[in-house]
């Protein structure tokens, strides 16, 4: 709050960067000397040029007027748009009149109505809030009202420091006191001192501190601060209207009667009253409202966007960084395509091909093999329930694509997701024109998400899973990018309560998150995998990660089951060389599957460094030791063990699968150990007690049975979120 005499030191702004601002201010000072009629004529000319030179502002203005005046013909709407540009440009040239115009000139061209309402309200000994709005006459109206009452305007700081200093100094010269619109303490204090404050709540600041209330018959995000100020200070709310009269007549300032029964206990009712008071003046002088701002930017959940969205700074930085990352990404894509002998992977990842699929269907994305297997029951249900609906599944890895092509229903199409280049994802969206995108678990690609948001196509996370590590990254811009991307998600169907809270921290609105449970429970309906049988019975170490193989081997060697073959299926087969380096000193005989080495009586460890065979190894094992859980990497999915009727042992680090781990322990479907010493004991237990293994597997089957209807729940929820599930024809029962 400023209560000091106006002070402006031009020497503080002698830097060359302020030269254009100085020139502009000089021109405005000259304009202040022109006759009032000359200002109006010059403003109309400026408005004519602005109409053609500012296409973005023209689109916003046209959109707002089309929304708010649907009863007018297109020709009338277009005329109103042009007139609004004229009035807005005149407002720019009225600012120097408000700052430097002579009292004699201004007092002769205005009139005031309704001062008696203000005087009567002052008799109650309370503060007064003059309810303003962003009319084109707000700057000049403030100067004119100051001739009649002592009041304090609120202001928002301008980005240009020189312009802000001039504006602030000029306003202080008139009013003596200014309050920043963000200075709530100062506003409250001034109102409690029975002061008069001008306050304009008609801007869209998003959902925080706002409710949706009708304005011009459009649901509008409306600040609740006006009602809160009135409630806190006891101030009365009096509408203040200003308008430019026809010709060179001047201006009319009107003070309305206090709002009745305000504030109430209902925020929406109060916001509606505020909007109605503003709407009265807007309908009276429709061209004299600043329609060029994005008044309806924030929409109720589920409603389409009204304006073309704007990218956040973090996303713009990401777009600038992407070209620098392109060469490593292209080289990696080339290497993966060569390794898998997959030409389509190379072409499609580089955004050079499009799938042969009808438009208007559902697009699903699953990164790799695990996600593809998990989403397959949902795809099968969608295809069964909507047989004519085009279904496209994108994957990001060759192994995921291979699995998808093998398992997808005939009419469904697999395609590799392009690298996250804006043009590539845009091209695929325009080709498929999907009704919605269903993303499995945690795949976050900023350009993909942004393009779906821009096209106003629902993007829904299914089986939403988010790690603490993703949220707690060390880079500020990346955290800000995640926060922005989280706001682009239309809905999150989360796997657990913990994941739901994490998505809320990511930026998704809590009302757009629903806990559904783990969709991977549904895969039990697809049946058991065909077991891989080796020459000897074996214990399986599944999906092992860095530094886990030697720990598990040591526990196995310390157990009484060390004569039983140990099969290791690493999470990343490319780590084979590192695994061998760690195990050669501990193991004499190791066979490697990728080299077609056979299991003999002397083989101690068999490393299955292949893709797509994990489920079959689980089905053939005596029992399973789940990797990813003996080092702090969050664990791995243990549901497949129950699905293949196998007992499972897992370690202490199951953060990413804590719900599943707790369910397995609750149902007695698995064993959790604290360290490798306890792991050795549990290996002894299961190796020596077949009944215990059978009991754990039976309990796992019972657990899966309790969640067998999870696909039904997902389909019910998706039916309310995806347009394609509402419009597609269903088969006859």
Which 3-state string (H, E, C) describes 535-565? CCCEEEEEEECCCCHHHHHHHHHCCCCCCCE
pTM of the entire predicted model:
0.75
Burial of 104 from C-beta contacts in 10 A (0-12 / 13-18 / 19+): exposed
Predicted pLDDT at 243: 96
Predicted pLDDT at 472: 82
Is residue 607 predicted with pLDDT exceeding 90? yes
Cα distances (Å, whole numbers) of residue 34 to 31, 87, 141: 5, 18, 19
Strands 624-626 and 590-592: unpaired
Spell out the residues 6+ positions from residue 406 whose beta carbon is closer than 8 angstroms to its own: none
Tell me the per-residue pLDDT of 627-678, one tens digit each, with 9 for 90 and over: 999 999 999 999 989 999 999 999 999 988 888 999 999 999 999 999 999 9
Spell out the residues 6+ positions from residue 723 whose beta carbon is closer than 8 angstroms to its own: 435, 436, 458
Predicted pLDDT at 475: 78
Could you tell me which of 507, 347, 518 has the C-alpha nearest to residue 419? 347
* Angle, helix 398-407 to helix 313-340, in steps of 10 degrees: 70
- Of 315-319, 542-546, 654-658, 667-671, where does mean pLDDT reach its minimum? 654-658
Calculate mean pLDDT across residues 28-48: 94
Is residue 730 predicted with pLDDT exceeding 60? no
Which residue is associated with the tokens 């109006």? Answer: 40
Query: What gap in Å lies between CA 351 and CA 333, rounded to an integer?
Result: 12
Calculate mean pLDDT across residues 580-595: 93
Is residue 410 predicted with pLDDT exceeding 90? no
Query: What gap in Å lies between CA 220 and CA 271, rounded to an integer?
Result: 10
Strands 251-255 and 236-244: antiparallel
pLDDT: which is higher, 731 or 490 = 490
Neighbouring C-alpha atoms within 13 Å toward the C-beta of 699? 17
- Going from the N-terminus, what domains does the chain have, and what CATH number goes with each? 10-288 (no CATH), 313-518 (3.40.50.11720), 525-706 (3.40.50.2000)
Query: What gap in Å lies between CA 86 and CA 457, rounded to an integer?
Result: 36
* Largest Cα–Cα separation, the chain: 109
CA 301 to chain centre: 13
Predicted pLDDT at 508: 87
Query: What gap in Å lies between CA 551 and CA 159, rounded to an integer?
Result: 59
Predicted pLDDT at 353: 87
Say what the alpha-carbon torsion angle 189, 192, 193, 196 is, to the nearest 10 degrees. 90
Is residue 524 predicted with pLDDT exceeding 90? no
pLDDT: which is higher, 270 or 658 = 270
Query: What gap in Å lies between CA 346 and CA 541, rounded to an integer?
Result: 33
Predicted pLDDT at 662: 93
Could you tell me which of 625, 567, 621, 619 has the C-alpha nearest to residue 597? 567
Number of Cβ within 10 Å of residue 600's Cβ equals 11
**Confidence band for 727, pLDDT divided at 50, 70 and 90:** low
Calculate mean pLDDT across residues 229-238: 95
Predicted pLDDT at 218: 96
3-state secondary structure of 391: strand
Tell me the per-residue pLDDT of 67-124, one tens digit each, with 9 for 90 and over: 999 999 999 999 999 999 999 999 999 999 999 999 999 999 999 999 999 999 998 8
Q: Is 146:175 a contact under the CB 8 Å cutoff?
A: yes
Query: What gap in Å lies between CA 719 and CA 729, rounded to an integer?
Result: 13
Calculate mean pLDDT across residues 293-313: 88
Calculate mean pLDDT across residues 168-175: 88
Predicted pLDDT at 10: 87
Q: Which helix H or strand E contains 436, and what residues bound it? A: strand 436-440
* Both structure tokens of 600: 């003999």
Query: What gap in Å lies between CA 296 and CA 308, rounded to an integer?
Result: 12
3-state secondary structure of 486: helix
* Angle, helix 74-100 to helix 36-53, in steps of 10 degrees: 130
Query: What gap in Å lies between CA 606 and CA 594, rounded to an integer?
Result: 11
Is residue 1 predicted with pLDDT exceeding 50? no
Burial of 197 from C-beta contacts in 10 A (0-12 / 13-18 / 19+): buried
Q: Which residues of 615-646 are buried (b: 16+ CB within 10 A; e: fewer)?
A: bbbbbbbbbbbbbbbbbebbbbbbbbbbbbbb
Calculate mean pLDDT across residues 600-608: 95
Query: What gap in Å lies between CA 237 and CA 154, rounded to an integer?
Result: 15
Query: What gap in Å lies between CA 212 and CA 267, rounded to an integer?
Result: 9
* Both structure tokens of 645: 């009727």
- State what percent of residues in the chain have pLDDT above 90: 77
Number of Cβ within 10 Å of residue 614's Cβ equals 24
Could you tell me which of 128, 120, 61, 69 has the C-alpha nearest to residue 89? 61
455: phi > 0 → left, psi -120 to 50 → alpha, else beta; which? Answer: alpha
Is residue 3 predicted with pLDDT exceeding 90? no
**What's the mean pLDDT when you consider all of the chain?**
92
- State what percent of residues in the chain have pLDDT above 70: 97
Is residue 579 predicted with pLDDT exceeding 50? yes
């Amino acid at each position: 709050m400023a209560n000091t005499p106006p002070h402006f030191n031009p020497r503080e702004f002698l830097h060359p960067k302020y030269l254009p601002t100085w020139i502009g201010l000089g021109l405005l000072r000259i304009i202040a000397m022109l006759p009032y009629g000359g200002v109006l004529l010059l403003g109309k000319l400026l408005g004519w040029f602005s109409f053609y030179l500012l296409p973005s502002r023209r689109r916003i203005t046209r959109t707002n007027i089309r929304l708010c005046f649907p009863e007018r013909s297109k020709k009338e709407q277009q005329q109103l748009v042009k007139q609004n540009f004229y009035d807005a440009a005149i407002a720019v040239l009225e600012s120097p009149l408000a700052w430097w115009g002579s009292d004699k000139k201004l007092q002769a061209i205005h009139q005031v109505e309704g001062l008696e309402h203000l005087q009567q309200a002052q008799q109650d000994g309370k503060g007064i809030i003059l309810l303003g709005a962003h009319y084109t006459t707000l700057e000049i109206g403030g100067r004119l009202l100051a001739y009649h009452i002592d009041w304090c305007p609120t202001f928002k700081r301008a980005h240009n420091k020189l312009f802000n200093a001039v504006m602030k100094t000029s306003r202080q010269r008139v009013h003596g006191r200014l309050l920043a619109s963000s200075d709530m303490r100062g506003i409250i204090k001034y109102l409690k001192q029975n002061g008069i404050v001008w306050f304009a709540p008609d801007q869209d600041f998003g959902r925080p501190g706002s409710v949706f209330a009708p304005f011009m018959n459009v649901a509008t995000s409306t600040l609740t601060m006006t009602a809160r100020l009135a409630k806190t200070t006891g101030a009365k709310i009096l509408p203040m209207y200003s308008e430019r009269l026809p010709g060179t007549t001047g201006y009319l300032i009107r003070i309305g009667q206090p709002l009745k029964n305000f504030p109430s206990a209902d925020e929406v009712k109060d916001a509606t009253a505020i909007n109605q008071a503003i709407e009265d003046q807007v309908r009276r002088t429709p061209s004299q409202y600043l329609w060029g701002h994005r008044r309806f930017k924030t929409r109720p959940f589920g409603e389409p966007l009204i304006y073309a969205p704007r990218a956040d700074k973090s996303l713009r930085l990401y777009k600038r960084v992407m070209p620098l990352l392109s060469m490593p990404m292209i080289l990696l894509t080339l290497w993966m395509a060569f390794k898998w002998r997959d030409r389509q992977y190379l072409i499609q990842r580089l955004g050079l091909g499009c799938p042969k699929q009808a438009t208007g269907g559902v697009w699903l994305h699953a990164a790799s093999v695990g996600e593809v297997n998990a989403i397959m029951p949902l795809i099968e249900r969608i295809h069964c329930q909507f047989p004519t609906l085009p279904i496209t599944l994108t994957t990001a890895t060759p192994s995921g694509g291979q699995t998808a092509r093998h398992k997808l229903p005939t009419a469904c199409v697999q395609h590799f997701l392009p690298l996250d280049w804006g043009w590539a994802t845009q091209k695929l969206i325009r080709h498929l024109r999907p009704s919605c995108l269903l993303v499995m678990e945690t795949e976050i690609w900023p350009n993909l998400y942004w393009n779906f948001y821009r096209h106003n196509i629902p993007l829904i996370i299914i089986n939403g899973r988010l790690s603490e590590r993703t949220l707690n990254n060390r880079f500020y811009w990346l955290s800000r990018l995640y926060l922005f991307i989280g706001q682009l998600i239309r809905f999150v169907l989360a796997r657990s309560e913990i994941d739901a809270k994490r998505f809320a921290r990511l930026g998704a609105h809590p009302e757009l998150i629903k806990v559904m449970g783990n969709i991977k429970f549904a895969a039990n309906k697809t049946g058991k995998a065909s077991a891989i049988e080796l020459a000897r019975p074996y214990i399986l170490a599944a999906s092992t990660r860095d530094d886990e193989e030697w720990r598990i081997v040591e526990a196995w060697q310390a157990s009484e089951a060390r004569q039983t073959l140990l099969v290791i299926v690493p999470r990343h087969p490319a780590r084979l060389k590192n695994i061998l380096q760690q195990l050669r000193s501990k193991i004499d005989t190791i066979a490697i599957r990728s080299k077609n080495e056979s299991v003999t009586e002397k083989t101690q460890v068999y490393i299955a460094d292949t893709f797509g065979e994990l489920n079959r190894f689980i089905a053939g094992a005596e029992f399973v030791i789940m990797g990813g859980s003996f080092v702090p990497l969050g664990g791995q999915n243990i549901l497949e063990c129950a699905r293949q009727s196998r007992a499972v042992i897992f370690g202490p680090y199951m953060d990413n699968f804590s719900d599943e781990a707790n369910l397995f322990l609750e149902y007695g479907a698995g064993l959790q150990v604290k360290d490798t010493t306890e792991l050795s004991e549990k290996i002894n237990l299961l190796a020596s007690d077949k009944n215990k293994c059978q009991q754990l597997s039976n309990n796992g089957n019972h657990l899966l049975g309790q969640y067998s209807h999870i696909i039904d729940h997902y389909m019910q929820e998706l039916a309310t979120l995806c347009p394609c599930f509402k419009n597609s024809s269903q088969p006859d029962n």
